[in-house]
Structure 1
Amino acid sequence: MAERQRQLAAAGLGEHGTVALRMPPSAEFVAVLLATWRAGARAVLLDHRLTAAEVARAVDRLHPRVLVELADGRPQFRPLPGGVAEDDDHVLVQLSSGSTGPSKVIGRTAGDLLRELDCYARLPEFPARGERTVLLSSTVHVLGLVGGLLHALHAGVELVVTQRMTPAGILTAIADGTAPTTVIGVPFHAELLAAVAAPPRLPQLRRMIVAGELVRPPLPAAFRERYGVPLGTMYGMTETGVIATDLTGRHHPALQPVHGMQLSLTGGELHITRPHSPYLGLTDPTRWSDGLLHTRDAALLDAATGRITVLGRRDSQISIGGLKVDLNEVEQTLTGLPGVVEAVVVFAGGAIEAYAATADGISSQPSERGGAAEQLRELLGRELAGYKLPRRLYLMPQLPRTATGKLLRDAAALRRQADAPR
């Protein structure tokens, strides 16, 4: 780590400077990250899968002094013109997932990270000293970074980063150790494992924990049936880290807020008490104001237990001919139909559009008479009123995702991918 700190200084970092890391999960990533913090600088985490153009745009927004990338297994330290020193106390800068639009720039202090680590330490079901975590989530983003990497370093947990995100690769990583093992990922990873017809016996597997988006209703039961352990769920944001959990799987879809988290509802939207804005630059008052972070998620709050149930994006409510339609309801109903693995429902051009992936992995255009999409729409019509039905329903082998593994919800991008086979 001392050598990495020397190389950062040689590249012109200096105290209060900013280092942009564009590196895959590795021991070198950890060394450079910790060296950055030891040097009194802030770290900007960029996904290693970003294109050169995307990295250039991020550099223009964030003004780091040094860009670190991996070449031939070794970090390369590149000084950048225009890098500036920062006089605030942020030690970490992350970009939000961008699943519904441009990414937001979010800053977190050392105090923020220590508070979140304390939350994980208080969860009896979370990996503890002497146990293992098989991490499927990216260490560039909040769950993989704090819940995976930093918690493992803080709590003495063995961390296994899986390079092959296939069912066989994940199952091999679990089986390679004997200590009690927790798998951490996104719902997509749980879907992959639940689809394995005859998984091997894994006595070390304690549970899987997923976060990042709503879980398809049948998935927790399907996962428990396959592996005999719970599928725990978490809700969080890049702005705050973990917010609420149900790691036992007993209360799904309800979640218990973590220690110290103060939640409230205003007009059905979930708000989080936070004295300062997490956003760097100008703050949008629709996202943070008067000490409240506006999650833009609709939720239910049980006054008796304090548990919350996240319903999905609050802006999912639309009007069709004067009738209100909740796109979350349409999406959850669609994912509950036989054979549907995942789905995204959007409102574009004055109409509801649905995009779904099935277990068969087939493609189907909505115009195909008698096709699989038309048959699926007929099944959906038995569950929902006619005005709630998608005008167009596309079947795709798989749905596009962001770098964090979240389903992409940009209508134009979805349409382009659906039209590509034609």
Structure 2
Amino acid sequence: MTRSIATEGVLHGWFLRSLRRNPAAVALRVAGESYTYQQVHDHALALAGELVARLGTRPRRVGLLASRSELAYTGILAAGYAGAAVVPLNPDFPAERTRGMITAAGIDALLVDDNGRPLLPELADELGSAPVILETTAPPLEHPYPAEPDDIAYILFTSGSTGRPKGVPVRHRNVEFYLRFVHDRYGFGPDDVFSQTGELTFDLAMFDIFSAWGSGGTLVCMPPQAFVAVPQFVRKHGITVWCSSPSVISLVRRMGKLTPGSMPSMRLAVFCGEPLLRDDAADWQAATGGLVENLYGPTELTISCSVHKWDPETSPALCVNDIVLIGTMHPGLDYVLVDSEGVVGASSGELCVTGPQMFPGYLDPRDDAGRFLEHDGRRWYRTGDIARLEPNGELAFLGRRDHQVKIHGVRVELSEVESGLRRLRGVTDAVAIALDGELYAFYLGEKRPAADLMEEMGTFFPRYLIPLHYEHMTEFPLNSNRKTDRPVLIARIRSAS
């Protein structure tokens, strides 16, 4: 057992408090194995001891090249125990992208599991003299090193329009504020069993891990093959808390598994990362009978910053372009809307947020340009998302700022086009892409001639909102975070032209 040390205000403190309460409880299920809080803690101390021994001092930033393994999760704690920020790296990412992350983060050690090992030769130049930890031989740390709330807890990367990774450092203080909010809101407890659906490079993973470990609950890693049978996985493991991007819902529906009462153990489902559609929210709640909430927030604002509680009686009528409201800001956060003329305080416009969840700025200060608003003596993060204040006091998501495009001189919202496509007979979901001044539509459901689709859209849309190009798909491409991969669709258009 760890000796008594200060754990308030730091990320791994949530785990340590649960460890003290019940070290024999199951903390993690992954790859068919279960690990107690004591076992995870002991392994994290061993990894942290190896990091310190190999460097001769406590590390500053530790890379974690691992995926869906016990080490992948334990490594997050190990970095924190060693007094370092953890930098998750996805073994499935192209080596070029991972090299850019290693360089940008300036990691001084790398933890690697079997999934990451094959990538090491391609990373050798960027790693330089940084030790690569494949096994532990040094004595474990006796106890975690102390950390301060203003220290960086983890660094995640998001791509800008150029595709160059942008490092987002999140402080212990930022994520502490967030975790206090979600634990208070949802009343997580030791009987809860949490899904873990995304890669560690996706910030929703931090929701999964520390919602579970902060409550003494069990975290269950969901392998990729389980997504074809989500209800069976949920029933097998008794999942009570689900968190994922909304794309999973349409996948379950296409498999014919999204049926009323099919996931009765689930008391809470939260969706984040992309717009949640009205029918998806309704069908998922019918399948579980539990609470469904729509979370909104970019990585720069620490996982999520606003929430809407789905109410089957009132929420459907509040949806805008079929999209569930993103709701109200977490207590302690403030927002303003900035219209296209730069007027602050408009009723609709770019959503800008400030408060204790806002990150301190990108790793590369050059990336800060244009991403912050100075207003009212405070610094606000510009999300790039367009929102509107609704009469009930909640916010509606209208689309990305870069999804506002001009077609033949007329401003078009891609979310509005997608809403129109979903109204078409036989269409179950759709993605609209604007490229070189033209609209392209990708859709799921019944395959129909493009001329028929255009004619039907013409009964309710003006000509400038009607795509001229249509492609039927059996499923949309998803990235590693299980979000719709728009760059893949754009590349598909370019390759066909």
CA distance in 2, matches of 1:122, 1:103: 34
- Once the two structures are superposed, the pairs formed by residues 166-205 of structure 1 within 5 Å of their partners are 166-167=226-227, 169-178=229-238, 181-197=240-256, 199=259, 201-205=262-266
Conserved 8 A contact 2:297-2:306: yes
Partner in structure 1 of residue 31 of structure 2: none
* Residue 292 (structure 1) aligns with: 380
Correspondence for 1:272: 353
What secondary structure is seen at the aligned counterpart in 1 of 2:328? strand
1:271 CA drift (Å)? 0.6
Counting only pairs closer than 5 Å after superposition, residues 250-329 of structure 1 correspond to structure 2 as 250=312, 251=315, 253-254=324-325, 255-267=327-339, 268-274=349-355, 277-282=360-365, 283-290=367-374, 291-302=379-390, 305-329=392-416
Q: Percent same amino acid among aligned pairs?
A: 23
**Alignment partner of 1:144 is 2:205:** yes
Distance 1:70 1:260 in 2: 39
Shift in Å, 1:186: 0.9
Name which of structure 1's ranges 56-65 and 105-114 shifts more when overlaid on structure 2.
56-65
Distance 2:119 2:47 in 1: 10
1:383 and 2:460 are equivalent in the alignment: yes
Tell me the CA shift for residue 227 of structure 1. 4.2
SS in 2 for 1:96: strand
| Alignment partners' CA distance in 1, 2:267 and 2:290 | 6
1:321–1:52 distance in 2 versus 1, CA, 3 Å:
closer
Q: Secondary structure at the match of 1:309?
A: strand
1:99 and 1:157 map into 2 onto residues whose CA distance is 39
Separation (CA, whole Å) in 1 of partners of 2:119 and 2:254: 40
CA distance change for structure 1 residues 405 and 201 in 2, over 3 Å: closer, same or farther? Answer: closer
The structure-2 alpha-carbon separation of the partners of 1:158 and 1:338, relative to structure 1 and needing over 3 Å to count, comes to farther
Q: Residue 384 of structure 1 aligns to a residue in which SS?
A: coil
Compare 46-55 and 99-108 and name the one that shifted more. Answer: 99-108
Aligned CA distance change for structure 1 residues 169 and 120 (closer, same or farther; 3 Å) = same
Residue identity matched to 2:185 = L
- Tell me how far apart the structure 2 counterparts of residues 340 and 165 of structure 1 sit (CA, whole Å): 26
- Retained in 1: the 8 A contact 2:281–2:310? no
Q: Following the alignment from structure 1 to structure 2, what is the Cα–Cα distance between the partners of residues 346 and 14?
A: 50
Confirm or deny: 8 A CA contact 1:127 1:133 kept in the other structure. no
Segments of 5+ residues of structure 1 without an aligned counterpart are: 363-370
User: Which range moved further: 68-77 or 126-135?
Assistant: 68-77
The one-letter amino acid paired with 1:238 is T
Give distance in 2, aligned partners of 1:13 and 1:130.
41
1:403 to 476, 480, 493: 480
> What's the CA shift string for 1:148-178, capped at 9, x where partnerless?
0012111222221211454554222211245
Distance in structure 1 (CA, Å) of the matches to 2:359 and 2:278:
35
Alignment deviations for residues 383-412 of structure 1 (CA, whole Å, 9 cap, x no partner): 3111111122222333223222222233xx
Give 2:436's match in structure 1, choosing from 341, 349, 360. 349
Question: Given the alignment, which residue of 282, 298, 302 partners 1:221?
Answer: 282
Name the one with the larger helix percent: 2
Task: Please identify, of 104-113 and 388-397, the stretch whose mean Cα deviation from structure 2 is larger.
Answer: 388-397
SS in 2 for 1:204: coil
Where does residue 6 of structure 1 map in the other structure? 49
Q: 2:67·2:115 contact (CA, 8 Å) conserved in 1?
A: no
TM-score by length of 1: 0.84
Question: Cα gap change, 1:307/1:296 in structure 2, threshold over 3 Å: closer, same or farther?
Answer: same
- Over aligned residues, Cα RMSD in angstroms? 3.2
1:49 to 85, 92, 97: 92
Q: CA deviation at 1:59?
A: 1.8
Specify which of 158, 170, 174 is matched with residue 96 of structure 1. 158
Q: 321-330 or 222-231, which moves further after superposition? A: 222-231
Q: Answer yes or no: is the 8 Å Cα contact 1:28–1:74 preserved in 2.
A: no
Distance 1:157 1:278, change over 3 A: farther
- 1:127 and 1:150 mapped to 2: Cα distance? 11
Superposition deviation, residue 22 in structure 1: 1.6
Give 1:10 shift: 4.1
Deviation at 1:75, TM superposition (A): 12
Please give the alpha-carbon distance, in whole angstroms, between the structure 2 residues aligned to 1:245 and 1:10: 44
Q: What's the offset of the Cα at 1:229?
A: 4.0
- State how many pairs are aligned: 404
Per the alignment, in what secondary structure is the counterpart of residue 486 of structure 2? Answer: coil
Contact kept in structure 2, 1:223 and 1:230, CA below 8 Å: no
Contact 1:134/1:173 (CA < 8 Å) preserved in 2? Answer: no
Instruction: Give runs of aligned pairs for residues 34-183 of structure 1, distance below 5 A.
Output: 34-71=77-114, 80-81=127-128, 89-96=151-158, 101-124=163-186, 127-145=188-206, 147-167=207-227, 169-178=229-238, 181-183=240-242
2:491 is the counterpart of 1:416: yes
- Rate the CA distance shift 1:82–1:373 in 2: closer, same or farther, 3 A: farther
TM-score (norm 2): 0.73
Distance 1:136 1:276 in 2: 24
Structure 2: stretches of 5+ with no match in the other structure: 1-43, 132-147, 340-348
